[in-house]
Amino acid sequence: MSGFMNPYDPNIRLTAGCACGRHSTQAEHDAGAGGDQLESGSAELQARVVESAVMRALFPHDDMRRRFLRAVGAGTAMSAISTFFPLGAAKEAFAQTGKLEKQSLKIGFIPITCATPIIMSLPMGFYARQGLNVDVVKTAGWAVVRDKTLNKEYDAAHMRSPMPLAITLGAGSNPIPYTVPAIENINGQAITLAVKHKDKRDPKQWKGFKFAVPFDYSMHNYLLRYYLAEHGIDPDKDVQIRSVPPPEMVANLRADNIDGFLAPDPVNQRAVFDGVGFIHLLTKEMWDGHPCCAFAASKEFVTSAPNTYRALLRAIVDATAFAAKPENRKQIAEAIAPANFLNQPVTVVEQVLTGTYADGLGNILKVPNRIDFDPFPWHSFAVWIMTQMKRWGQVKGDIDYAKVAREVFLATDAAKIMKEAGMKAPATSSKKFSVMGKEFDPSKPDAYIAGFAIKRS
Amino acid sequence: MPRSGRLASALLSILMFALFLAVWHGATLPSGGTQAADSEYAKMVGSAAASGQKTAMPSPKDVAVKLWEHAKDPFYVRGTNDQGIGIQISYSIGRVMLGFGLAALVAIPLGFLIGMSPLLYRAFDPFIQILKPISPLAWMPLALYTIKDSVTSSIFVIFICSLWPMLINTAFGVSAVRREWLNVARTLEVTPMRKAFRVILPAAAPTIMTGMRISVGIAWLVIIAAEMLVGGTGIGYFVWNEWNNLSISNILCAILLIGLVGMVLDQILARLARAVTYPE
């Protein structure tokens, strides 16, 4: 993501980068000086970002771009491209940020790999590149993240994607309009069981188990309930599900307080690392591409500081795009593992991000998309989450699914910025998907709920 | 105590500590893995898991090494979420001092009033009795919700937990001043202010100091829990952060440090209490 190098320079590569991403090579980064650097936040820099995005879109393979430029020369290339692509207009649209209302921001996060884009943006310079001075603050639990965000101690935060919906609907707190400008990660969760249960791989044998999930309003809770219910286990009657902060899960599993958990990584991999548990199932096997955590901000922040919000969103979308490339994952693992961020052994984070991992039973598995990154907040995700909230009695009464989804999951903004960053954004904001082989049609949420045998509503 | 007795007790302490270390060392000796997994798998998991076991408690040596690491560089700052143990403990001490100081400012004058008037004593009593046994951490969600600032909230929690012992002890000390002394003051027609400062305060000072000593002990217990809950900075956050990393060695270092600081705080107030006691 070296969007800062002159894209018309055939001698540089647009794809590779150093640790901070601002230099074309690591050596250059170490020297502290780029050959052709522009000051962060300047108008030329913004223009260059757009040019780079266009060039990247035109020449997905960097070799080709370089050969093309060498053959025709930068000037010819520039005029050739501007004849069929309105570069000027694109630059203007992207530069339409105006002055940042607020430069110093605080963003709260929970130390799990879901927070990857939020965390990595600091050490790898994605925030700085948007002219933002961001401090990421590690927080002890979801309730504290919620309260500190509602208090405005945090300008934005890492949340479970259902949380902003719950806050907006007023479940578990007073209703306050909240928004999800971007989803952080998809997949990346797993069901981990204590090693002593390694022969009980059939959920039907799980009656009487005690499970932990990170939060009541989390994908983990809904996915675990869904999984159990599909296997005929009533999640409220046959097993116990408690809400336990992720960092405490491995300790509880070790102490035999719980039999297993559906948790975000690196918790699952950490249980394997310490010989306490084994990975029973990756959630991607239930629903490939499910959302997990979200980057959330209050509606007030979005409307009162629109330029800052857009800059922040651009940073997150850029980081997400960078993280989506498997070749960058190792480098990210090294950047986010230290004590300041996840505070985990690098190998644990690396196994989670690269998807080549030890399963706790002596096997090494290779699942490259064990965790993946896609910022687009699909409205249909929001609708699915709300159907589950209703299914398990967390919200009562009728919900205007489409309206809430539209208001909370800001798909239009994300799509716009993804396009600006040179990513492919979906044309619609709703899609059908299936969870454990059962099709979900976002236009018929009530029929979907009615279709379940085990439910509380 | 005679010198030989003091020497004997010191020797006994050292012996107990040595025994404790020996038992600990013995209990954490590696028990020899049974099955060795293939090397590629072993590289991906911890050393204990590679031989089919759970990661064990750290040995005394591991903890000593960690302690030395912390002692060498207690004041580093490597970002908002990673600061030296010395900085973290200073944050905690600062919060305790602030909360405790505010509580003393409220509790001692109020206790004085309550102690001097039996009417007020009885009127306040039911509230104090109900509020006293509430775990200070139960106030945390309420504080976060109303104060809307996590740092102020943790100081508030310290304030509320140090308030009661000081208030009760002050009231008790003031009300228990010997009648004869007050009568003497009355015969000498001493002004109320003079009576309060020259007769009651010195008489009640030892009880008040005891209340303060209890309070600071409780405050130090509570700050750790409060910081674990709210996070950010402080030794409680340090413990939580290392728990997150399942680093028992680091947690043990923090426990040791917490004990030491608690002891120092207690000793300071014990000295002060001794300074104000008087022989009857």
Task: Give residue A255's Cα distance to chain centre.
Answer: 31
Kindly report the pTM of this predicted structure.
0.72
* Bigger pLDDT: A191 vs A1: A191
**pLDDT of res. B52:** 66
List the structure tokens of A351: 């196994």
Residues near A120 by Cβ (< 8 Å), separated by ≥ 6? A126, A319, A322, A323, A332, A335, A336
Of A276, A347, A349, which to mutate for an interface test with B (greatest number of B Cβ within 10 Å)?
A276
Q: Please give the mean pLDDT across all residues of chain A.
A: 76
Q: Out of A136, A141, A274, whose CB is closest to B46?
A: A274
How many beta-carbon pairs under 8 angstroms link A with B? Answer: 111
B231, A139: Cβ pair inside 8 Å? yes
Task: Give the pairing of strands A210-213 and A260-264.
Answer: parallel
Give the chain B residue whose CA is nearest to the CA of A108. B232
Q: Around Cβ B117, how many Cβ atoms within 10 Å?
A: 15
Query: CA–CA separation, B186 vs B173, rounded Å?
Result: 19
**pLDDT of res. A294:** 77
A338, B82: Cβ pair inside 8 Å? yes
What's the whole-number mean pLDDT along residues B69-77? 81
Query: CA–CA separation, A336 vs A114, rounded Å?
Result: 11
Give the confidence band of B140 by pLDDT, cuts at 50, 70, 90: confident
Query: CA–CA separation, A414 vs A122, rounded Å?
Result: 20
At CB < 8 Å, which residues of chain A contact B? Answer: 111, 135-141, 143-144, 147-148, 150-153, 195, 247-248, 250-251, 254, 270, 272-276, 338-341, 343-345, 347, 351, 357-358, 360, 362-364
List the structure tokens of A438: 């059962």
Cα distances (angstroms) measured from residue A60 to each of A57, A108, A331, B109: 6, 35, 22, 75
Give the confidence band of A238 by pLDDT, cuts at 50, 70, 90: confident
List the structure tokens of A260: 């297993």
Give the confidence band of A172 by pLDDT, cuts at 50, 70, 90: low
* Bigger pLDDT: A207 vs A70: A207
| Per-residue pLDDT tens digits for A305-333 | 888 888 888 888 888 888 888 888 888 88
A140, B54: Cβ pair inside 8 Å? no
Which residue has tokens 């965790």? A371
Give the confidence band of A77 by pLDDT, cuts at 50, 70, 90: low
What's the whole-number mean pLDDT along residues A56-80? 64
**pLDDT of res. A409:** 73
Of B35, B243, B244, B253, which to mutate for an interface test with A (greatest number of A Cβ within 10 Å)?
B244
What's the whole-number mean pLDDT along residues A358-368? 85
**pLDDT of res. A11:** 61
Query: CA–CA separation, A285 vs A305, rounded Å?
Result: 40
Give the chain A residue whose CA is nearest to the CA of B248. A251
**pLDDT of res. A37:** 44
B150, A140: Cβ pair inside 8 Å? no
**pLDDT of res. A245:** 80
Q: Taking a C-beta distance cutoff of 8 angstroms, is the pair A78, A127 a contact?
A: no
**pLDDT of res. B104:** 93
Give the confidence band of A418 by pLDDT, cuts at 50, 70, 90: confident
Q: Out of A153, A274, A340, whose CB is closest to B149?
A: A153
Query: CA–CA separation, A405 vs B190, rounded Å?
Result: 76
A144, B245: Cβ pair inside 8 Å? no
DSSP A253-270: HHTTS-SEEEEETTHHHH
**pLDDT of res. A48:** 60
B41, A137: Cβ pair inside 8 Å? no
**pLDDT of res. B149:** 79
What's the whole-number mean pLDDT along residues B247-261? 89
Query: CA–CA separation, A146 vs A166, rounded Å?
Result: 11
A343, B52: Cβ pair inside 8 Å? no
**pLDDT of res. A148:** 82
What's the whole-number mean pLDDT along residues A150-158? 81
**pLDDT of res. B142:** 83
Give the confidence band of A1 by pLDDT, cuts at 50, 70, 90: very low
Query: CA–CA separation, A178 vs A165, rounded Å?
Result: 7
Residues facing residue A433 across a β-bridge? A440
List the structure tokens of A65: 């771009």
| Per-residue pLDDT tens digits for A6-31 | 656 666 555 444 444 455 444 454 44
φ/ψ of B101, rounded to 5, equals -60, -45
What's the whole-number mean pLDDT along residues A104-117? 85
* A33-42, A110-119, A258-267, B105-114: range with lowest mean pLDDT: A33-42
A144, B53: Cβ pair inside 8 Å? no
| Per-residue pLDDT tens digits for B30-48 | 765 555 557 777 777 776 6
- With a cut of 60, say whether residue A86 has pLDDT above it: no
Give the chain B residue whose CA is nearest to the CA of A351. B44
Q: Half-sphere exposure of B74 toward its Cβ, with a 13 Å CA cutoff?
A: 13
At CB < 8 Å, which residues of chain B contact A? Answer: 37, 40-41, 43-46, 48-49, 52-55, 78-82, 141, 144-145, 148-150, 228-232, 237, 240-246
**pLDDT of res. A404:** 77
What's the whole-number mean pLDDT along residues B116-141? 86
Determine what percent of chain B is predicted with pLDDT higher than 70.
92
List the structure tokens of A227: 């999984």
Query: CA–CA separation, A15 vs B30, rounded Å?
Result: 48
| A129 to chain B, closest Cα gap in Å | 19
- With a cut of 50, say whether residue B2 has pLDDT above it: yes
**pLDDT of res. B16:** 94
- With a cut of 90, say whether residue A273 has pLDDT above it: no
A-chain CB neighbours of B228 within 8 Å are 140
Q: Which residues of A71-221 form beta strands (DSSP E)? A: 104-109, 133-138, 156-160, 178-183, 186-187, 189-194, 210-213
Give the confidence band of A57 by pLDDT, cuts at 50, 70, 90: low
B45, A272: Cβ pair inside 8 Å? yes
